[in-house]
A and B are shown apart, each in its own frame.
Chain A
Amino acid sequence: MLKRRCSLVLTVIMIVLLAAAPTFAKTKITYWHQWTGQWTKVLEDIAQMFNESQDEIEVTAVVVPENFRERLMSSAAVGDMPDVVSLTGDGNLYMAERGLFHAIDKLMGEDEWKRFQEWALPVVWEVNDWKGHVWALTPYIDCHTLYYNKHFFSEAGLDPEAPPLTIDELDAHAEKLTRYDARGNIDVIGFYPSAGVTYWGTVFGGDLVDDRGAPSFHKDPKMLEAMEWIASYSHKYDVTKLVAFEAGISEERAGALDPFISGKIAMQQQGQWVIINLANYTGDDFSYGLAPHSPTPPGGRKGGTLVRSAYGALAVPKGSKNPEAALEFIKFWIGYGYEAQRAKIFEWGAWMPLDRAQKIWEEPTTVQYLNMFPQFAAFRDVLNMQSWAVMQSPVDSFLFDRIGAANDYARLLEKDPAKALEDAAADVMKEFDRINR
């Protein structure tokens, strides 16, 4: 009798537990990103920190090291998509136009979206603001300014506390800092515009596309001015020598082999993450300075951040089974409502805080980090000055490819800068017309 009662009680407990099980289960979401090597662990740590902050959501970070776009397109074709993706390639607005992503503003709802816009810097959403909706949010921004080697400045008789702030000053400094070896090759270059016309054209005050996303760079005198300036370096330093030098350093860009660290470039336009590289790979004898903003010509865009949609914006694919949970993870990554955690993310990856009120900069973790790396203050100023969304176009993949080729043609003196821009624009315009037909 007792035995029967016991088994009855156990059965009832089991049924109750099984029935209650779904309420204990967390909503699981998948996050695709492309951060490989040491960064995979950092992304896993971010996911872990998010999971610890949640009672009902659990995210799994999945690294997709290669062919990210192909896999995303394939998963869209079969209707089995991740819940969140880091968009690290071009073509995002095209995919958004084709209905691949949820509109973030709609997912948030009108009131929260307004609050979010008041909280975040515009750079977080403006580049993905397309046809009335925002399709992705950018959780980290690459800010650029001029790094310069103070030792080289002193040797060349330049004031190590006065970096060039205009293009004319930059060119003059570059000439003084350039050195040649016994074979007549460039041994150290003062500066050369490796960032290309996409970057420098914007700094010069030009625009790549108009409001519709159609190419406008060929009609923009500022873009032409930037392209001519880029080509001027090939004339001034002998294109053969410059190309040889460039090929020499292009194989050694990362870590300790960064040409600025290895003393091959005296001044270079770079992002905030280089601060960590410099700390890791240089000794006390390496002294560098940061310009308060990129050197700018008269009429150019003085100081600020340039952002592209391709720079890791977070989107929620339409195939996501849990878009609300996915949105919560995006908010976490950006730091909206998770300021203390975002301060840690800054420390882990040099991904600067993006809140308009700069509260995250005052979090104890951030203050401690800034004491270690006070150089970030320069980038904080740059980040909070202004920002420009570039290549806001549904044909940005093709545009990026063609503007890169145009840059090559001009810098290698294969085409006149105006002709290089016109040819590229003609190709891109055809593509723009095709998709808008």
Chain B
Amino acid sequence: MASAAVKKRRIQGLLFISPWLIGFLAFTLYPFISSIYYSMTAYDVISPPEFIGLENYVNMAEDPLVRKALYNTFYYAVFAIPLSTIWGICVALLLNLKVRGMTLYRTLFYIPSIVPVVASSMVWLWLLNPQYGIINGLIYLFFNHPGPGWFADPKLSKMSLVFMSLWGIGQTALIYLASLQDVPESLYESADLDGATTLQKVIHITVPMISPVILFNVIMGLIGTFQYFTQAYIMTGGGPADSTLFYALYLYNNAFNFFKMGYASAMAWLMFLVIFVMTALTFKASSRFVYYGGETR
């Protein structure tokens, strides 16, 4: 039984966090819960919602654009997550070297991640412009070939976005860098005594020791790629020929362009389910690959 003083302190505590609590209840929890109901309605915001049971979910199964959007999103995830993980670790390893001017290099690699998305998107549209872009200019200079269409080519548009995402790797690399600095120096010294090469040290010491951080970044990357929206919305609008119609973009179009808020809510729940299952599977698989300090194997 809590004493009066404890009760009073609890109330005081709740009052102190009440601005956040009210915001969370009104703007996160309520929409979250209510979207379950809306996902079972035909709702366009203008007219009152009409209950239609599971019809939205049935329609989703038959909607070719949902399939297309899921394909595009999975395609992006399959390339973007592994590449950003490998590239992030490589950059972090380089930034962990003890060379002169390292703070400057670290700053330079971090800068892209703080550039506003709209600005960086515009820059990349120009860099990858098939006719006037510097990348195709270099391709022509070195290979005497005109270079690909990048964002304008439906076969390459998603890969162009993957390529672009690697540029903004600074945040991820910074997290890897912090974890690299936590790896005990003694492990490398022991390996040196055993005559291990640099590559062997990376594979057998560095990667296992930072594996919890890799898992964290993979899961965050997984969630991020399934919600991939802004760049596609700004740069390609889902085109050309639906090649960058990502799931979140199609969801947005349904909600705000096609007056299908109920359908969009159902799509949001499917997205939640997919992310949940993928995260759970990653966690389950991680027990075989992730090493936590103090564990014996």
A residues in contact (CB < 8 Å) with B: 67, 69-70, 73-74, 76-77, 89-91, 94-95, 98-100, 183-185, 240-241, 243-248, 251, 397-398, 401, 404-405, 408-409, 412, 414-415, 423, 427, 431, 434
Contact = CB atoms under 8 A, between A and B. Distances in A.
A237 B44 CA distance: 44
B241 interface: yes
Contacts of A69: 256-257
A251 B129 contact: yes
User: Would you list the 9 A-B pairs with minimal beta carbon distance, nearest first?
Assistant: A248-B131, A244-B130, A247-B152, A408-B241, A73-B45, A98-B46, A244-B131, A243-B152, A409-B241
Given A73-B256, A412-B154, 14 more contacts: A73-B46, A76-B45, A76-B46, A77-B46, A89-B257, A243-B149, A243-B153, A243-B240, A245-B131, A246-B152, A247-B150, A251-B125, A397-B258, A405-B239
Given A70-B256, A247-B129, A248-B131, A414 B154 contact: yes
A244 B242 contact: no
Contacts of B153: 240, 243
B20 interface: no
B253 interface: yes
B241 A401 contact: no
Given A243-B149, A247-B129, A247-B131, A431 B154 contact: no
A176 B13 CA distance: 79
A262 B258 CA distance: 37
A70 B125 CA distance: 27
Contacts of B45: 73-74, 76-77
Interface of chain B: mostly helix, strand, loop or mixed: loop
A412 B131 contact: no
A183 B146 CA distance: 7
Contacts of A248: 129-132
B46 A243 contact: no
Contacts of A241: 146
B159 to A, nearest CB: 16
B207 to A, nearest CB: 40
A182 to B, nearest CB: 10
B258 A243 contact: no
Contact of A185 (B47, B125, B146): B146
A98 B47 CA distance: 7
A423 B239 CA distance: 16
Contacts of A244: 130-131, 146, 149, 152
Contacts of A423: 64
Nearest to B145: A183
Contacts of B241: 405, 408-409, 412, 414-415
A397 B259 contact: yes
A89 B253 CA distance: 13
Given A100-B46, A248-B132, A427 B239 contact: no
Contacts of A246: 152
B65 interface: yes
A427 B146 contact: no
Interface string B137-176: 0001000001001111110000000000000000000000
B87 to A, nearest CB: 26
B24 interface: no
